[in-house]
Structure 1
Amino acid sequence: MSKPSAEAGALDPKGLIREAYRIEGVDAAQCRSIFLDWALSAPMDQDTNAALSALLERYGPMHPDHPMTGVLRDGLAGSVRPRRRGGWRARPRSE
């Protein structure tokens, strides 16, 4: 087993993503739970998109069919900032 690089350690300080890839028989629901723990423990100033991209670059090619790879891809695709759709300003005025 290789020691994680400094960059991977900075992106995954608790080693949650790394360990998810090592768990034999892990399913997508468990990977989503691990991902949520990783996301909640990430530093506030961390660029989540960049971190997810780097983690995918590191683990995705070695484990293309692993459920965690799918969860990381979903996290990257779902990180688009939502647009405001509604509220009092969008309501028509009644005169």
Structure 2
Amino acid sequence: MQTLAELDHKRLIREAYRIDGITVSQCRSIFLDWALSLPTQLDNRTAITQILEHYSDEPSDHPMTGVLQQGLEEMANPRRRGGWRSRTRD
């Protein structure tokens, strides 16, 4: 299990929870920045799960909690968005 300092080394998630009136859109932007800065040796799904556990005392309707939960759901059900194979004919 990683420490919170390792999971959120820029303290982006922590600050998102501290901002009064933060919007879902702002949380998504913060989440993307956090995900892109996560060290490659850390598993994204595990990191999100551990962060959600750490912030479990926050209100369940906080926008950042929703964005983190959505991140977990979308990782469980990835969608294909195209690529060269979708443009070729059989």
TM-score in same-fold range (> 0.5): yes
Comparing both chains, which one has the higher relative contact order based on Cα–Cα distances under 8 Å and sequence gaps of 6 or more?
Answer: 2
- 1:13-28 alignment, distance < 5 Å: 13-28=9-24
Shift >6 Å, 4+ stretches: none
Q: Matches of 1:53 and 1:63 in 2, distance apart?
A: 16
Aligned counterpart in structure 2 of residue 74 of structure 1, from 70, 75, 79: 70
2:27 corresponds to: 31
Q: Deviations over 1:23-76 (max 9, x none)?
A: 010000000000000001111111111000001111133221100000000001
TM-score by length of 2: 0.81
Matched to 1:42, the amino acid is: L
Q: What is the CA distance between 1:82 and its match in structure 2?
A: 4.9
Aligned runs of 1:33-52 on 2, under 5 Å? 33-52=29-48
Task: Calculate the TM-score normalised by the size of structure 1.
Answer: 0.77
Return 5+ residue gaps in structure 1 as ranges: 1-5
Please provide the CA RMSD for this pair.
2.3
Aligned sequence identity (%): 51
In structure 1, C-alpha distance between the alignment counterparts of 2:59 and 2:33, rounded to whole Å: 21
Q: Larger % of helix: which? A: 2
Distance in 2 separating the partners of 1:63 and 1:75: 18
Q: May I ask how many residue pairs the two structures share in their alignment?
A: 86
Q: Which has the larger radius of gyration?
A: 1
